A and B are shown apart, each in its own frame.
Chain A
Amino acid sequence: MSVDIATVKKIASLARIAITEEEAARIAPELDNIMGWIEQLGEVDCTGVEPMTAVIPNHLRLRDDVVTDGGVRDAVLSNAPQAEHGFFTVPKVIE
């Protein structure tokens, strides 16, 4: 499989990274090269092998249902590029 310019544009759009034609043209062979190298993984016979889930044996701990956080609106908004009346703001979205 090969990564072409159209593919690069599609994944860049999925990843929400604006790219120009020139960038797409430059990136496509680069990614194609890297993906070509990655393809060798297909050689490995993984029949009956489970995908890794926890690298070191460990159990998911569950926490108690207690309110321990929140009430920190100033901290939450303190780095916002734009905030008004206690909200973050974004360009108007039409649903």
Chain B
Amino acid sequence: MTDLTDLGVAAIRDGVRTGGFSAREVADAFIDKVSKAKALNAFLVETPDHAIAAATEADAARAAGEALKPLAGVPIGMKDLFCTKGVASTAASHILEGFTPPYESTVSGKLWDAGAGMLGKLNMDQFAMGSSNETSAFGNVISPWRRADGGNAPLAPGGSSGGSSAAIAARLCPAATGTDTGGSIRQPAAFTGISGIKPTYGRCSRWGVVAFASSLDQAGPMARDVRDCAIMLEAMSGFDPKDSTSLELEVPKWEQGLSGNLRGKRVGIPREYRVDNMPGEIDALWQQGIDWLKDAGAEIVDVSLPHTKYALPAYYIIAPAEASSNLARYDGVRYGLRDLPDGANLQDMYAATRAAGFGPEVKRRILIGTYVLSAGFYDAYYTQAQKVRTLISRDFDRAWESCDLLLTPTAPSAAFALGEKLADPLAMYLNDVFTVPSSLAGLPAMSVPGGLDTGGLPLGLQIIGKALDEQCVLNAGLALEERAGFVARPEAWW
């Protein structure tokens, strides 16, 4: 029999349905893998009981001849940004240490309702702020991948959903949730050779997800292939009256609509994404992707997104501004860490608690956000950034006049070594150069693995679609996947 942990979501779902194996066998296999992969530091909390309970229910339903739920028997990983009832949820920050939500986030709740079980809570960049997982208060996740140079330098799994990407790449779970504010699903997916999609802003409820930047935060699935992403996204999406920004729309049957045939579709290649100093391999992969989409029947067109260059600076005003306010609630009064030095008054307690509880990157962004919103600067920074955001969004609208999709690289480089960019925050921020514009415009975007660089590390291709057109994004992802034939996987060293 094959190793059950090599199976993806669809294969597990179908196998449990047809009785090829039991849900319990699947759960046990993954639980075992998780328990033996501590070296990756991908899981902050392991919840075998949760996974077993869901598996037991699936098996019982099958035994009773009942129709199985869409994700019956599928154990998954949950990014620790999602609040899970009765299970510690920290956003990988000391400031939430010991916090056990008495509530379940809408998205995680939907997954449990769909029959999925939880293997554990996944490590991440603290409050989802980071691109390498090095900002976690509980130690960085280490990518299961290693360079082919035999150097064994520990590599970044990407971020902020780096626990999710590492766990999937290492076959510790077939799928996981991620969240994406400026690229936090797509960049880690690219770094670890898996797929991930950020849907249109408003598809997935933000209720119960620890907020980073409310106008950008979107949950989405990460998995090994496009079909698995489609299945997961269907379960995670849907209108939630508890989130004022949730879209009141039916959830499309994305899995059913999957097709790698792109005849009649026009794919735009944004010329501004050809940035200076981009490794030749990235450029080559991009060209390869263009050829694959042509092969799938798509017409390729050259497009311009003139304000691309301003997306990152706009993002680094908007996201920190929102974050500085969203994170004001972590004050040591109602939950989490409290640091009360002797003789401290209330305001001293706040300052001490927040100094002790937030990591350096979180503090940095809170300070940037506080600065750009402070008296006298609001219009010059925040208002200007929101205007630029309008222009960026218009760029996309104009592009849609001549194409249906955009193809770009996901990240400007393959995974870098841990520590490599830590000293230079700006260099780290530049990781998001290709993912941020679509985040600012709220558009669906996906990363799929395209190949390996000469160092043997995965590289990703990004597809950006029109608002609400996740189907087209998934289909293009499938077309790339079918042609890339990406089967590389990291050797288990952990």
Residues of chain A with a CB closer than 8 A to B441's CB: 55
In the complex, the answer to whether B366 meets A41 with C-beta atoms within 8 Å is: no
Chain B nearest Cβ from A30, distance in angstroms: 6
Are B390 and A50 in touch, CB under 8 angstroms? yes
Q: 0/1 per residue, A1-31, Cβ < 8 Å to B? A: 0010001100111111111000000010011
Asked if B182 is at the interface (CB within 8 A of a chain A CB), the reply is no
Query: Cβ of A61 < 8 Å from any Cβ of B?
Result: yes
* B248 with A41: CB separation less than 8 A: no
Q: Are B307 and A44 in contact (CB under 8 A)?
A: yes
* Contact B354 A16, beta carbon cutoff 8 Å: yes
The B interface is mostly helix, strand or loop, or mixed, namely helix
A63 to B244, CA, bound (A): 10
**A residues contacting the other copy or chain, number (CB 8 A):** 52
A60 within 8 A of B: yes
> Contacts A44-B388, A80-B334 known; A33 to B102 CB distance under 8 Å?
no
Interface flag for A91 (CB, 8 Å): yes
Could you tell me if B202 and A58 are in contact, using CB atoms closer than 8 angstroms?
Answer: yes
Contact flags A77-95 to B (C-beta < 8 A → 1, else 0): 0111110000010111100
Interface residues on chain B, number (Cβ under 8 Å): 74
Within 8 Å CB of B191, what residues of A? none
B201 in contact with A38 (CB, 8 Å): no
- B391: CB under 8 A from chain A? yes
A77 vs B201: C-alpha distance when bound (angstroms): 33
Residues from chain A with a CB closer than 8 A to the CB of B307 are 44
Query: Which chain B residues (362-400) contact chain A, with CB distance < 8 Å?
Result: 363-364, 366-368, 370-372, 374, 380-381, 383-391, 393
Among B201, B337, B385, contact of A55 (Cβ-Cβ < 8 Å): B201
How far, in whole Å, are A24 and B317 apart by their CA atoms in the complex? 20
**B334 and A44 within 8 A (CB):** no
CB pair B345–A91 under 8 Å, yes or no, is yes
Of the 9-residue stretches B219-227, B268-276, B308-316, which lies at the interface with chain A? B308-316
> A52 on the interface (CB 8 Å rule)?
yes
Residue pair A91, B384 in contact (C-beta under 8 Å): no
Q: Among A11, A31, A41, A43, which residue has its beta carbon within 8 angstroms of that of B385?
A: A41
Please give, as numbers and ranges, the residues of chain A lying within 8 Å of B391 by CB-CB distance.
Answer: 44, 46, 49
Verify if B99 is at the interface (C-beta below 8 Å from A).
Answer: yes
Set of chain A residues within 8 Å of B331, measured between Cβ atoms: 16
Bound CA span A82–B340, Å: 11
| 0/1 string, B311-347, CB within 8 A of A gives 1 | 0011011000000100010011111111010001111
CB of A34 to closest CB in B, whole Å: 6
Give Cα A46–Cα B336 distance, bound, in whole angstroms: 42
B98 interfacial contact with A, CB 8 Å: yes
A55 and B442 within 8 A (CB): yes
Tell me which residues from 349 to 369 in chain B have a Cβ below 8 Å from any Cβ of chain A.
349-352, 354-355, 358, 363-364, 366-368
Q: Please name the residue on chain B nearest to A8 by beta carbon.
A: B367
- What are the residues of chain B within 8 A of A44 when measuring CB–CB? 307, 310, 384, 387-388, 391
B residues 399-429 in Cβ contact with A at 8 Å: 425-426, 429
Kindly list chain A residues whose C-beta atoms are within 8 Å of the C-beta of B442: 55-56
CB distance from A20 to the nearest CB of B (A): 9
Docked complex Cα distance between A43 and B100 (Å): 46
Residue of A nearest to B387 (CB): A46
> What are 28 A-to-B residue pairs whose CB atoms are below 8 Å?
A7-B371, A11-B374, A13-B351, A14-B370, A15-B354, A17-B351, A17-B355, A18-B348, A18-B351, A18-B352, A30-B364, A34-B426, A35-B368, A38-B317, A41-B381, A44-B384, A46-B384, A46-B387, A50-B387, A51-B383, A52-B386, A55-B440, A55-B441, A61-B241, A79-B100, A81-B335, A88-B333, A91-B344
B contacts, CB < 8 Å to A: 98-100, 102-103, 200-202, 215-216, 241, 244-245, 247-248, 307, 309-310, 313-314, 316-317, 324, 328, 331-338, 340, 344-352, 354-355, 358, 363-364, 366-368, 370-372, 374, 380-381, 383-391, 393, 425-426, 429, 440-442, 467-468
A positions within 8 Å CB-CB of B: 3, 7-8, 11-19, 27, 30-31, 33-35, 37-44, 46, 49-56, 58, 60-61, 63, 72, 75-76, 78-82, 88, 90-93
